[in-house]
Amino acid sequence: MLLSDHIRETADIIAGYVTGTLVIENNTVSLLKLDGELITVNEDYSIEVRNDRIYESVTVSQVIDLRTEEGWPLLSGIYTRIKKIVTLN
């Protein structure tokens, strides 16, 4: 990991995000943290994948549906940050 990547990840964690690698298996979206913990991600989470230096928001449906020409999950293995969505009642 480059120092600049480490700094970005540290900033993400300070901002309240959980960071890791996106995993898509059997139509289930998960985040694999650096410590090996696997967090199942659903619509209760905000999902942002890093595309070079910017983050792009995606939904669980988009993560599952976006595929390569060969049919592989397009976003699998991408650095991702998630945050639980807080709703006030």
Q: What is the pLDDT of residues 43-57, one digit of tens each?
A: 999 999 999 889 999
Kindly state the tokens that stand for 39. Answer: 């967090």
CB 13 within 8 A of CB 19: yes
Please count the structural domains in the chain: 1
Range of the domain at 25: 3-84
* 3-state SS, one letter per residue, for 7-57: HHHHHHHHCCCEEEEEEEECCEEEEECCCCCEEEECCCEEEEEEECCEEEE
Tens-place pLDDT, residues 23-80: 999 999 999 999 999 999 999 999 999 998 899 999 999 999 999 999 999 999 999 9
The per-residue pLDDT for 67 is 95
Q: Is residue 9 part of a domain?
A: yes
In a domain, 89, yes or no: no
> Could you tell me if residue 42 is inside a domain?
yes
Confidence (pTM): 0.86
